[in-house]
Amino acid sequence: MTASYLVELKDWGLHVRLQGTLSLEQRDTVARQVQSHCAALGARGTPWSTLVEFDRFEAEGFRPEIVIALMKLARTCGQLRCAVVMSDWDWASVMAEAMIAAGIDDQARIFVLAEGLQAESGLDGDLDGGPATDFPGANFSGMDSAMAWVLSGGVVPMVSKAA
C-alpha cells in the first residue's frame, strides 16, 4: 500500500484522509493544511464539521501533542462535530486519549469499521500515493453512521476514558 493523504474543504466542513505509513514530512504537511483550512472555515463564521479517515494508518514517532493542538484549533475556529473513522482498535484508543486531552470529547466520535469491511477494501480503496488533490465522487460506503454524525449530529456513543 502506498502512503497517501487528502485534506480538502467541503460545503459541510473539512475532510481529511490518511492512508498507510506517512513520513514525518507528509504528516507535517497535513498538519499545516489542516491548520490553514481551519482558519478559512473559521473566517466563514458558521459552524462546520470534520470527517477524518485513518485507513491502515501507521506513524512512527506519533506526536499526540500535534493532534491535540489541531483539535483545539478546530474547536476554536467553529468546528461543531468531528467524526474519526478508523480501521484499527489500537489507534482508536490512542485517538480517544487525544480527544479527551484536547477537551473535545463532547463533539467528537470515533467509528471503527467492522472487520469484514476492512478486509474487502479498507475505508475506500487506495489513493494513488502522495497528496491526493482530486478525490471526486468519494464513496463513503461503510461509514453511514459517521457521515450521519458529520452532517446531522444526533445520538451516538460518546468517547469515554473506558474506551
pLDDT in tens, 29-87: 999 999 999 999 999 999 999 999 888 887 778 888 998 899 999 999 999 988 888 88
Decide if pLDDT at 3 tops 60: yes
Domains and CATH numbers, the chain: 4-152 (3.30.750.24)
Tell me the pLDDT tens digit for each residue of 72-107.
999 999 999 888 888 888 888 888 888 888 888 778
Residue 115 and residue 98: Cα distance in Å, rounded? 24
Map grid coordinates 493544511 to a residue.
33
**pLDDT score of 29:** 96
**Do 140 and 147 form a contact (C-beta atoms < 8 A)?**
yes
Contact assessment for residue 86 and residue 54, using Cβ atoms and an 8 Å cutoff: yes
Cα separation of 74 and 80, whole Å?
Answer: 9
